Amino acid sequence: MRPEKEFVLKVMSGADLHYYSHRNNLKIDCIGYQAYPEFCKTLKVADIFFDLRKIDSETTRCMPIKLFYYMACGRPVVYSNLKAIRKGVPEIDSFAILVNPVNVDDVAVRVLNLIEDVTKYNAYCSAAFRLFDSKYNWESVSGRLVELVNRL
């Protein structure tokens, strides 16, 4: 990490990640379970979201619902490269970086490139919210869900 930049990571997890805080320019706040209203308030202050999951047969086929919360905040996302995301959100590359979570060097380089390219960062923010607002919100998908339930 570059000494001239300070990074604050807010981690919503039960995991203890404080052992990474030994660097002068890195602060990690671990946030445990939060009720939905508090969860939304915590999300609002983030500049970029990370959701790096182990890629296995279950996670790669399940669409993570948090992706849509992150989109609604209008922020870029760094996510594990899951098949369900690519299939469910074909525009994913316009606001997210999909990575192999075990390739830490690649993740770091790609995130630093995004942070340092203000034009790209702002484009990702705009695309995330625009797609949420126009296509990936409850009003847009509820009709299809009701049709699916009615067919059962």
With a cut of 70, list the residues of the chain below it in pLDDT: 1-30
What pLDDT score does 2 carry?
46
Q: What is the pLDDT of residue 94?
A: 98
- At residue 6, the pLDDT reads 59
Distance (Å, rounded) from C-alpha 73 to C-alpha 68? 9
